[in-house]
Amino acid sequence: MPTSGAGPRPPTIADVAGAAGVSRTTVSHALNGIGKVDPRTRERIKQVAAELGYRPNLRAQRLRRGQAKAIALASTMPVAVAAGPSRLGFYMEIAAAAAESALLHGYALVLVPPVRSGTDLHSVDVDGAIVVEPDANDVAAAQLRERGLPYVALGRPVSPDEPAPYIDLRGELVAEKLLAHLREQGARRPALIIGSGQRHAAVDARTAYERVCAEYGWEPVVATAPETGGEQAGYDCCAELLARHPGTDAVCALVDAFAVGAVRAIKDGGRAVPDDVMVVTRYDGLRARTCEPPLTAVDLHLDRAASDAVELLLARLRGDVTTGMVVTSPEPRVIPRASSLRVTARA
């Protein structure tokens, strides 16, 4: 093989063709699984390519096929709640699992920062996207539709006009399980804190909370906080809630950043967690585990959900019409911790 001062050059498709005694077109068809190539010839070409250490030019393949071989992970969730100061959290856990699953299929994952009005997704070279927990009139979803790109939602879309297949994160069941746990621990006046947007988690939690309140005769107390405010928004919201409803004995703060802020507000107000006010949250992430006291949270099986979202999107890219519009995630599991173990801790 020819060499240069820079070292041996990598083998080319012409080298494989010469060693296998076939044309370059036959090599291309054999290695890409296209065209009519005798199975024995195809296997011989693959063996020769492996022996020579040949690697196909992926960029050239993408250009010929008109594919980017990349999918995007996008959301309108602000960093203040999706990731936090450490940049580790809900969004990044999904990203890690989705990237691994995509790579198994030969796709790269493009991680898009929070998409807001004015952010342009049109310049991102991808074949499709996963939109994490789209809000009503979601900007990211709207831009993908404008481009004619297929996408799936991780979390139930709340807009009735949303056409995307989705992974059902079972928002109502999550809220029901958290409220059942609080009731088991003695709560009789639990309040709900949710984001002020219209993501499925907030919408489903409110629906479940109002239903449970009616069932048990609880007075419903629902407060909302802006996602962009992160922990401080949760702090302010909880402080105001306790001032208006001093009899509140538990707070179900769906966003983990809000829950951490709520714990601070409770303590600063001279109350104890969980003896005076219990606190639970939805996402079992770093914030929940490092809060003091650690927060009772829910295992949402995000690794499985992210992988399912990739599979659902790739099915759409293949034009697979047999794949259903909805994939249901495994049953969520409450992980009890010190922030709400009032009865159990004393038993």
Count H helices, E strands: the chain? 14, 14
- Kindly give the pairing relationship between strand 190-195 and strand 222-225: parallel
Alpha-carbon distance 162 to 168, whole Å?
14
* pLDDT, position 114: 80
Are 316 and 152 in contact by the 8 Å Cβ rule? The answer is yes
- The dihedral through the CA atoms of 211, 214, 215, 220 has a sign that is positive
Per residue of the chain (347 residues), give pLDDT as tens: 444 445 567 888 888 888 888 888 888 778 776 677 888 888 898 898 888 887 766 555 554 554 669 999 998 888 777 766 555 688 889 999 999 999 999 899 998 888 775 566 777 889 999 999 999 888 889 888 888 889 999 999 987 666 789 999 999 999 999 999 999 999 999 999 999 989 999 999 999 999 999 999 999 999 999 998 999 999 999 999 999 999 999 999 999 999 999 999 999 999 999 999 999 999 999 999 999 999 999 999 999 999 999 999 999 998 876 667 899 999 999 999 999 998 654 44
> Structure pTM?
0.80
Instruction: Look up the CATH superfamily of 70-169+301-328.
Output: Response regulator (3.40.50.2300)
* pLDDT, position 347: 41
Architecture of domain 3-56: Orthogonal Bundle (1.10)
Q: If we measure between CA atoms, which residue out of 252, 247, 293 comes closest to residue 274?
A: 293
* pLDDT, position 2: 47
Q: Is 167 exposed, middle or buried (0-12, 13-18, 19+ CB in 10 A)?
A: buried
Whole-angstrom CA distances from 147 to 13, 15, 75, 142 are: 35, 40, 16, 9
The segment(s) of the chain belonging to CATH 3.40.50.2300 are 70-169+301-328, 171-299+333-346
Alpha-carbon distance 25 to 344, whole Å?
71
What spatial distance separates the first Cα and last Cα of the chain, rounded to whole Å? 77
CB neighbourhood size of 100 (10 A) = 14
Looking at domain 171-299+333-346, which of 3.40.1710.10, 2.102.10.10, 3.40.710.10, 3.40.50.2300 is its CATH number?
A: 3.40.50.2300
Alpha-carbon distance 251 to 155, whole Å?
23
Whole-angstrom CA distances from 44 to 17, 30, 39, 281 are: 11, 9, 9, 57
Q: What letter would DSSP give residue 24?
A: H
